[in-house]
Amino acid sequence: MKNGAQILVECLKKEGVDVIFGYPGARTLLLHDTLMDDPDISHILVRHEQGAAHAADGYARTTGKVGVCLTTSGPGATNLVTGIATAYMDSVPMVALTCQVTTADIGNDAFQEADMTGITRPITKHNYVVTDIEDLARIVREAFYVARTRRPGPVLIDLPSDVLAARGAGEIPESVSRRGYQEMPTLNLKQLKAAADLINKAKRPLIYAGGGIVLSNSQSRLRALADKAQLPVTHTLMGLGVMDATSPLSVGMLGMYGAWYANKAVHECDCLIAIGARFDDRVTGRIDGFAPNARIIQIDIDPASIRKTVQVHLPIVGDAGEAMEKLLELVEAKDRSGWLEQICAWKEEAPLPRPQSEQLMPHEIMEALRAVAGDTPVVASDVGLSQMWTANFFQFHEPRHYITSGGLGTMGYALPAAMGAAVGNPGRLVFAINGDGAFQMNVQELATCSQYNIPVKVIILNNGKLGMVRQFQRVFLKKRYSATDLGGHVDFCMVARGFQVAALKVTRKEELVHALNKAMEIEGPVVVDIDIDPDCYSFPMVPPGKKTVEALFDPDEWQG
């Protein structure tokens, strides 16, 4: 007979878990004690539970495995909430283990009690509270099954401390299933044939590719489909890398901060094939102005995402990879050179702006990073202007090379997520690209990187401002800058060195490449603090309530 903590660890090993990101407390004592003697699972001690959730998220996004985080009860568990919500919005497979007060104390307002199943019900794919030792092994098996299958997502298991102490046989079931839960939906071949017919007849078709292609590991099928039928491809923020950015069929990122020519292609296409994308409001702009001339096909594994915001003409429920494999057989090889030439003309008419300044500009930094790092780094970007600059100017050739908080837009994501990515991808170069505001949200994880020598290269684009909010104030509020000036009073190099992390400062253009090369030579974590022009922004930008082709290219264009 084993205690619950031992059974849990055996279950985790059965699922292939090799690392847990966590923080201990009184309710985790038995579990951490058990992990201490197990050579197969590493425990990374983060400095804040939010960091544990983001690290598990970054590990999962870049490896395709289920990420695992562990906390104690009460505030330790509630500190996971933002990270769980981040994973939920972006369909990241994750299992959160929250230890809990004893079953007898649940509901009695016991010290450090929080109703984690109630709190996280809206932001988890499923959650459990284990009240019987005999259910533990089945629940863990089921949690991983639910987290990784169909549309992936976070699952929470609440673990009362008396269950972890109780003893049981702990027999792990070979397989699990849930009533009414279908792991893989059956494709409707009639609908697929109708989709192929629409594509074959189209003069100006366009693929709108989302994160579902990354989750299904089907980028090769997308590229084959696009190549055979000469279908240009625009992608979402979550879909970065599904098409090689240098491919002549790649149209770049669409949406609020995407390329104007990508939005123009959507506006003018006559057939839009949405694959693994959910028509987020940041993509569509004003709904009645989105793809007004197109017959819209939507392929998604989650039926709840189909026709949720846009009334598509042809819905197809299914796995993106399986659907594209069938479409590849059904679509005809076509010469669409005229349509592709038109898109190229739009690219020349309105390319992504690259403003010049005596001070460093973000696009110059991205281009320098690419030159120094090559094509294979993993890049975690934070939220705000740094996110948009990275997405638009750091060209990606493969999926899972770029991770960010898309749906929730969580500041403080980049550093802990990059930490998880580096743990999951030993030997890979990993960047965390932050604004100075976002960096301060989870700066404490530098201590984790230092303790475990996790070689994250932290890039701070330092403008002394909360840049994206300031951009809104600049454009829409006539330069009334309220609560967006960070003062520039933090010496980030001194902070980094306080955590025993190497640090470099860049203030002039001629220092940039040398500093980046030096950062690459240092084996462990490094912070590179780069001063940028405080008045550089991300354009084009589609104002709220406007069509995506009604983008602003300059802050002084707004006449609203």
Rounded to 5 degrees, φ, ψ at 519 are -65, -35
Looking at residue 559, its pLDDT comes to 82
Identify the residue whose tokens are 């030439």.
341
Give 3-state DSSP helix, strand, coil % of the chain, rounded to 5: 40, 15, 40
Name the pTM for this structure. 0.97
- Residue 177 confidence (pLDDT): 87
Alpha-carbon distance of 17 to 28, in angstroms, equals 18
Residue 102 · residue 131 · CB < 8 Å: no
Question: Angle at Cα 63 formed by Cα 421 and Cα 316, nearest 5°?
Answer: 125
- pLDDT digit string (tens) for the chain, length 560 residues: 899 999 999 999 999 999 999 999 999 999 999 999 999 999 999 999 999 999 999 999 999 999 999 999 999 999 999 999 999 999 999 999 999 999 999 999 999 999 999 999 999 999 999 999 999 999 999 999 999 999 999 999 999 999 999 999 989 999 898 888 888 899 999 999 999 999 999 999 999 999 999 999 999 999 999 999 999 999 999 999 999 999 999 999 999 999 999 999 999 999 999 999 999 999 999 999 999 999 999 999 999 999 999 999 999 999 999 999 999 999 999 999 999 999 999 999 999 999 999 999 999 999 999 999 988 899 999 999 999 999 999 999 999 999 999 999 999 999 999 999 999 999 999 999 999 999 999 999 999 999 999 999 999 999 999 999 999 999 999 999 999 999 888 999 999 999 999 999 999 999 999 999 999 999 999 999 999 999 999 999 999 999 999 999 998 889 87
Answer for the pair 91, 117: CB distance below 8 angstroms, yes or no: no
**CA torsion 482→432→76→176, rounded to 10°?**
130
Q: How many angstroms separate the CA atoms of 546 and 558, rounded?
A: 12
Indicate the DSSP class of residue 333: P
**pLDDT value, residue 436:** 97
Tell me if 93 sits within 8 A of 120, measured CB to CB. Answer: no
- The pLDDT, as a whole number, for residue 181 is 87
Backbone phi, then psi, for 305, in 5-degree steps?
Answer: -85, -15
As a whole number of angstroms, the distance between CA 54 and CA 330 comes to 41
Q: What is the pLDDT of residue 180?
A: 85
Q: Quick one: tokens of 253?
A: 């990122």
**End-to-end alpha-carbon separation of the chain, Å?**
70
* Tokens standing for residue 360: 């460093």
Nearest Cα to 452, choosing from 523, 516, 519, 401? Answer: 523
d(CA 281, CA 545): 10
